[in-house]
Amino acid sequence: MDQQPNYITSLTSLRGLAALWVMLFHLDVIFFYRDFGPFIPHELTGIITKGYRWVDFFFLLSGFVISHVYGAAFASSTDKVNLIKSFLWARFTRIYPLHLFILVLLIPFAAIVPVLFPAVVDGSWETFMAWPALLDNLLLINAMNQHVYLSWNIVSWSIGAEWWAYVCACFILPFVFKSNLTYKSIALVVSSAVLFGMFSIRGHLDITFDYGWLRCLAEFTVGTIVYQVFVHRVGEAWLSKNTSFLITALLIVIAFHFGLSDILLIPLFIALLLCAAYNNEIIKMVLEKKTLRYLGDISYSIYMMHGFWFLVFWFSLTYLKSELKITLLAVPLKLGLGVSFVSSTIISAHYTYHYIEIRARQLLRNAWFLKNEKSTVNG
């Protein structure tokens, strides 16, 4: 089940670029909300300040890719119980080891830093490092309105949301793959209505620790239906063109720059996904370049590790203000801190990808295989 048939390599690079964009968004958050001014003036552009929207792309992409890898199996399997067990174990071993590793890093951080550097403990510390929220993070229920704000690895709310989307996928995939066009359309309308309803209430889709699971589930479901569009090659003649990809990418940049409605980005992200999946020309060649592919390979580590470095830099700036009495950062220093944040994230992601993600996944899946093999022999 772990082998991806006809792997759509161009989507991997898009995932990496999206992870970098989210990382830059959080870099701006650090400077802006620590009163050192934005990384790029907000009045000039929303290119960075609206970067949270790429999480919506992740959720759409997840539904699409999970459909690509597992959809046919769920549609045709006669042994649903073992299929569900294998599927959930595969997804758990994909996301949980790195999530747990970062929590293990943050626990001593939360215990030791207040003792050594008491000046960093402010209201945000009490929120981000709230001990009662640790269990919810461990149980992956940190996007279900359990606490008042983001906590611990602040980006991991989306991992908790994603896990429960995987659980629901055991029912969504058979439904989407086996139902007729009418029922697929109903699923699309319901999911879109949920997203539009959340947007109407909040005025944006930056919904995380509270109803992030619902945001994820709706977009994951839309992603599974978009995959049906891909399978039936709908719009391929136009969407496969290089110009279609470039126009769509440009429209996304424009939407970010001018701060256009979050809900508008959903169809644009869908179009970008399909353009990349259909394309077999220059765009595909560019997206399959070694560097871009590697960024995509380590994108999960980039995403998760930048949450760890967010906390390190966030509280370091508190120390600069309270102890060193630094209230203004010169442009070169701000740029240097930004480069340090990005470098620390990418370098650490390189190592966690190889030594945490891959090794833990191999170890846990081998244990699963040996357990099942032993059960078969004993049976």
Tell me whether residue 4 is in a domain: no
Nearest Cα neighbor of 364 from 105, 92, 138, 140 is 92
| Alpha-carbon gap, residue 201 to 199, rounded angstroms | 5
Tell me whether residue 29 is in a domain: yes
Residue 117, CA distances (Å) to 28, 102, 132, 333 in order = 24, 21, 22, 22
Q: What pLDDT does 374 receive?
A: 55
Q: Judge whether 218 and 191 are in contact, CB under 8 Å.
A: yes
Tell me whether residue 179 is in a domain: yes
Number of independent structural domains in the chain: 1
Q: Judge whether 279 and 245 are in contact, CB under 8 Å.
A: yes
Residue 355, CA distances (Å) to 141, 155, 305 in order = 26, 21, 13
Nearest Cα neighbor of 98 from 108, 87, 106 is 106
> Which residues form the domain of 190?
9-378
Tell me whether residue 295 is in a domain: yes
Tell me whether residue 246 is in a domain: yes
Q: What pLDDT does 244 receive?
A: 95
Q: What pLDDT does 373 receive?
A: 55
At 231-263, the pLDDT tens digits run 999 999 999 999 999 999 999 999 999 989 999
- Name, in order, each residue with C-beta under 8 angstroms of 336's C-beta and a sequence gap of 6 or more: none
Tell me whether residue 267 is in a domain: yes
Q: Judge whether 277 and 11 are in contact, CB under 8 Å.
A: yes
Q: Whole-prediction pTM value?
A: 0.90
Tell me whether residue 3 is in a domain: no
The proportion of the chain whose per-residue pLDDT surpasses 90, expressed as a percent, equals: 62
Q: What pLDDT does 38 receive?
A: 84
Which one-letter DSSP state was computed for residue 279?
-
Q: What pLDDT does 109 receive?
A: 92
Residues of the chain with pLDDT under 50: 1-3, 377
Q: What pLDDT does 377 receive?
A: 46
Q: What pLDDT does 1 receive?
A: 41
Tell me whether residue 244 is in a domain: yes
